[in-house]
Amino acid sequence: MAKKMAVLGAGALGASIGADLTKAGYDVLLIDQWPAHIEAMKAHGLRVTMPEEEYVVPVQAFHLCEMKDLRQWALQGKLDVVFLAAKSYDTRWMVEFIRPYLKSDGVLVSVQNSLNDEWISPVIGRQRDMACALEVSAEVFEPGWVRRNTDRLSTTFVLGELDGRITPRLQEVAQVLGAVGRTQVSTNIWGVKWTKLMFNCMRATPRAAFDVTLPQMLENPGIVDLLMKLGREAARVASALGYTLEPMFGLTAEDFRGLTDELFLKLNATVVSHAGTTMIQQDIAKGRLTETDYINGLVVKKGRTAKVPTPANEAMTAVMHRIEDGVLQPSLSNLQIFEQYLSGRTATALA
């Protein structure tokens, strides 16, 4: 595939994708808004540490402001494929930013959390939008150095056209991402995305809010009960909106029939099997806005549309907002505040 590609948002995930694609011989730009990160990659290449491998690869790295030097690309629409790996709250403006650089028959692939394609396609058109759900864990705390907790065999990308068709370009993009991890194509990508959203509701925010280790999550009955509530609410909202959840994380289609206690117990076990800090934990450590409103908060918003109550996700969103505001600190004691919120006794605790 001799095409021009870009990774927009070269954080932990974006850098992982850009590094492996570059290493595999693809022509790919890495574009980011962290100056020190870009300068480090320009000077020393991109260092990638994986469980059983470490390498440094020279990359084409650009700061956002440097894209003006490629203004001729905006006139000619040079990019065939853009992998968007930005935070969900940066999606709209970043899609607007890259839109002039994307070919009229090019494709933007959202390698993000949440249901971002809902607000991507109105900007670039459904015909240029490809959805993706992924299983990967990576961290970046030092400029020019990404640590991947999942190797290529345990990294998975599920790709799908928004209308469910299996197209040549879908298969082609899946082949490209095969340099980064295992790939699958789906005729029900929205169902896959909802499954990933449900998983993130159960893992990303609780670990960040309660500051617990993975084993502690399963050892604490209160947290286990909470995870079950969060997952069930997300599943009910998806069902009410007409989506069919798709298996991920090694679970089977049989597991997903009926949304039984056994399914959510298996999901709980899967939650604690994913190593590394979550993206929410990394955001808190870096003192920046989290994606809570696009995970648990989105389930609450969608629940209101579907007229499905989502008290657990509403409580988790409220607790996370207080942590973002500095009113609370990540701590197991927040579990009590969460429970008080559910019981209606937090009029002052969360004010």
Q: Under a CB-based contact definition with an 8 Å cutoff, are residues 190 and 131 in contact?
A: yes
Which residue in this structure is represented by tokens 């150095």?
A: 145
Spatial separation of the C-alpha atoms in residues 199 and 311, rounded to whole Å? 17
pLDDT at residue 219, rounded to an integer: 82
pLDDT at residue 349, rounded to an integer: 42
Domains by residue range for the chain, with CATH:
4-187 (3.40.50.720), 191-342 (1.10.1040.10)
**Blockwise average pLDDT, block size 10, the chain, 351 residues:** 87 97 96 96 97 95 87 74 97 96 95 96 97 92 93 94 97 97 97 93 90 80 88 93 82 62 64 66 89 97 97 95 94 92 60 41
3-state secondary structure the chain: CCCEEEEECCCHHHHHHHHHHHHCCCEEEEEECCHHHHHHHHHHCEEEEECCEEEEECCEEEEHHHHHHHHHHHHHCCEEEEEECCCHHHHHHHHHHHHHHEEEEEEEEECCCCCCHHHHHHHHCHHHEEEEEEECCEEEEECCEEEECCCHHHCEEEEEECCCCCCHHHHHHHHHHCCCCEEEECCCHHHHHHHHHHHHHHHHHHHHHHCCCHHHHHHCHHHHHHHHHHHHHHHHHHHHCCCCCCCCCCCCCCCCCCCCHHHHHHHHHHHCCCCCCCHHHHHHHCCCCCCHHHCHHHHHHHHHHHCCCCHHHHHHHHHHHHHHCCCCCCCCCHHHHHHHHHCCCCCCCCC
Q: Under a CB-based contact definition with an 8 Å cutoff, are residues 143 and 34 in contact?
A: yes
pLDDT at residue 287, rounded to an integer: 87
Tokens of 143: 């400029």
Tokens of 97: 């930013």
Spatial separation of the C-alpha atoms in residues 297 and 299, rounded to whole Å? 5
pLDDT at residue 104, rounded to an integer: 93
pLDDT at residue 252, rounded to an integer: 61
Pairing between β-strand 138-142 and β-strand 145-148 as defined by DSSP bridges: antiparallel
